[in-house]
Each structure stands twice: as C-alpha cells, then as structure tokens.
C-alpha cells in the first residue's frame, strides 16, 4: 500500500499530463512519509533517479533508484549538495506544506514561502525543458507566484485534483518546459 493518500493527487496529475516517465531524474521536496516517492520511483524505473527531502524522516522500503535526505529545504548547503551530486533534474515536485495554525492568512503566507523556495530550488536544479509541480494554499500571494512561473516555463496550469478535499485551499501549479534565456 501507499504511505499516504497524497499519492492519489499525484497519480491524477501524472496520468492527465504524462509527467513522470521512464529514465527521469526527480527531485521531491517535502517527500515524507513517502507516497510520492513510491509512485515516482516505480514510474522512472531503474534507469531513473528519485531524490526526496523532508524535515521528517521516512520509514519503509524504497527501491534502489530512490535516495532520501532528511533536512530543511530552506538550508542552502543541503540544496547545493543535492545539486552538485545529482542535477540536472527533469522535474521538481513540491508537496511541501507548513505546519498549519488555523489562521488562513498566516497559513497561506507560509505556504507561499515554501512555494517560492521550491521555485528557487527548481531554478538551480532543472535542466532546460524541465518541469515543476508545486502545491500552494490559495491566498494573496498566489497571483504573484503564478506570474513568476509564467515567465520561466512555456506552459503553466493550475490544477485542483479531484483527490484534494474541496474545502482545502490547496491547489497545484504545474509549470512545463523550463525556458532558459541567455543573459
Ligand atoms: N508528498 C508526501 C507523500 O506523498 O508522502 C506528503 C507531503 S506532506 C503533505 C508535506 C511535507 O512537507 C511534510 O512531511 C513536512 O515535513 C514537509 N515540509 C514542510 N516544510 C519543509 C521544509 N522547510 N523542508 C523540508 N520539508 C518540509
């Protein structure tokens, strides 16, 4: 079985957009307890690689193509190490969520910080044509984040999977085909 019901949201998005393919390198931010790792490691197969990061450790068995790092995605040296060892990635996933307080303004602001960090990591980690899928709680920062992604990816879509509870403020933004501009 899967370690979390969160997997059904990824499966839905993956099936609709054909995101995760054989041989890909995947960076999964906020990966614990590991259901997205379970799905993606199977999809990329033995020629692919999946690297997961989370504040919380994971338990359970993952295939050989899967590496898990316990740590904070906000930590620059941790991210730099991952990039030095395994970049370029084909896709960055972020299902990161803040520890919620119940105050919707505070919660959406903290979710936006995590989303912005995922975008920053993706800038360093993705190769040309790479994709990003990130979770965000809809709030006042949402339009700004969408417009950042529209400058950096050829196609940007907002997705509310059926498996996501209707009353939840979470949505996913999918940016496909990273554009690399000459400077
Ligand atoms: N996709 C996961 C799965 O399928 O098992 C579920 C992810 S869960 C909804 C969100 C995760 O984000 C939590 O495990 C939390 O510890 C992690 N998280 C939140 N802030 C983080 C940070 N700064 N660095 C790393 N992980 C973080």
Q: What is the pLDDT of residues 85-102, one digit of tens each?
A: 999 999 999 999 999 898
Q: Which residues line ligand 1 (CB under 6 A)?
A: 3-4, 6-7, 30-36, 53-56, 72-74, 95-97, 114
Q: What is the per-residue pLDDT for 106?
A: 92
**120 closest CA partner among 94, 155, 156:** 94
**68 closest CA partner among 60, 78, 57, 80:** 57
- Residue 183: inside a domain, yes or no? no
Query: Mean of the per-residue pLDDT values for the chain?
Result: 96
- Residue 126: inside a domain, yes or no? yes
Q: How many domains does the chain have?
A: 1
- Residue 108: inside a domain, yes or no? yes
Residue pair 39/20 in contact (Cβ under 8 Å)? The answer is: yes
- Residue 47: inside a domain, yes or no? yes
Give the integer Cα–Cα distance in Å for 100 and 105: 11
What counts of helices (H) and strands (E) characterise the chain? 5, 7
- Residue 1: inside a domain, yes or no? no
Q: Mean of the pLDDT values across residues 30-49?
A: 98
- Residue 22: inside a domain, yes or no? yes
Residue pair 82/57 in contact (Cβ under 8 Å)? The answer is: no
Domain span including residue 89:
7-178
Question: 12 or 181: whose pLDDT is higher?
Answer: 12
Any residues with CB less than 8 A from the CB of 31 and at least 6 apart, and which? 37, 52, 53, 54, 58, 68, 95
pLDDT over 80 at 181, yes or no:
no
What are the φ/ψ torsions at residue 108 (nearest 5 degrees)? -70, -30
Q: What is the per-residue pLDDT for 167?
A: 84
- Residue 81: inside a domain, yes or no? yes
* Residue-wise pLDDT tens digits, 126-156: 999 999 999 999 988 999 999 999 999 999 9
What are the φ/ψ torsions at residue 104 (nearest 5 degrees)? -65, -30
Question: Is residue 177 flagged as an active site residue?
Answer: no
Tokens of 61: 């068995």
From the alpha carbon of 72, which atom of ligand 1 is closest? 24
Q: Structure pTM?
A: 0.97
- Domain with 53 in it: what CATH number? 3.40.50.150
For residue 80, how many C-alpha atoms fall within 13 Å in the half-sphere facing its CB?
3
ipTM score assigned to the predicted complex: 0.99
Q: Mean of the pLDDT values across residues 120-131?
A: 97
From the alpha carbon of 96, which atom of ligand 1 is closest? 12
Residue pair 28/86 in contact (Cβ under 8 Å)? The answer is: no
Give the integer Cα–Cα distance in Å for 34 and 5: 10
Enter the DSSP assignment of 23: T
* Residue-wise pLDDT tens digits, 46-55: 999 999 999 9
Q: What is the per-residue pLDDT for 23?
A: 98
- Residue 2: inside a domain, yes or no? no
């Amino acid at each position: 079985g899967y370690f979390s019901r969160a997997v059904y949201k990824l499966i839905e998005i993956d099936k609709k957009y054909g995101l995760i393919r054989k041989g890909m390198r995947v960076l999964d931010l906020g990966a614990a307890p590991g259901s997205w790792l379970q799905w993606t490691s199977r999809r990329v197969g033995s020629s692919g690689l999946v690297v997961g990061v989370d504040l919380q450790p994971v338990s359970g068995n993952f295939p050989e193509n899967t590496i898990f790092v316990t740590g904070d995605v906000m930590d620059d040296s941790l991210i730099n190490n991952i990039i030095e060892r395994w970049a370029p990635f084909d896709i960055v996933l972020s299902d990161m969520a803040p520890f919620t307080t119940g105050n919707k303004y505070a919660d959406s602001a903290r979710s936006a910080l995590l989303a912005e960090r995922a975008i920053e990591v993706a800038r360093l980690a993705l190769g040309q044509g790479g994709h990003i899928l990130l979770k965000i709680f809809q709030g006042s920062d949402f339009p700004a984040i969408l417009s950042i992604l529209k400058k950096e990816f050829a196609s940007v879509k907002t997705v509310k999977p059926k498996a996501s509870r209707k009353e939840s403020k979470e949505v996913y933004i999918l940016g496909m085909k990273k554009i690399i501009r000459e400077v």
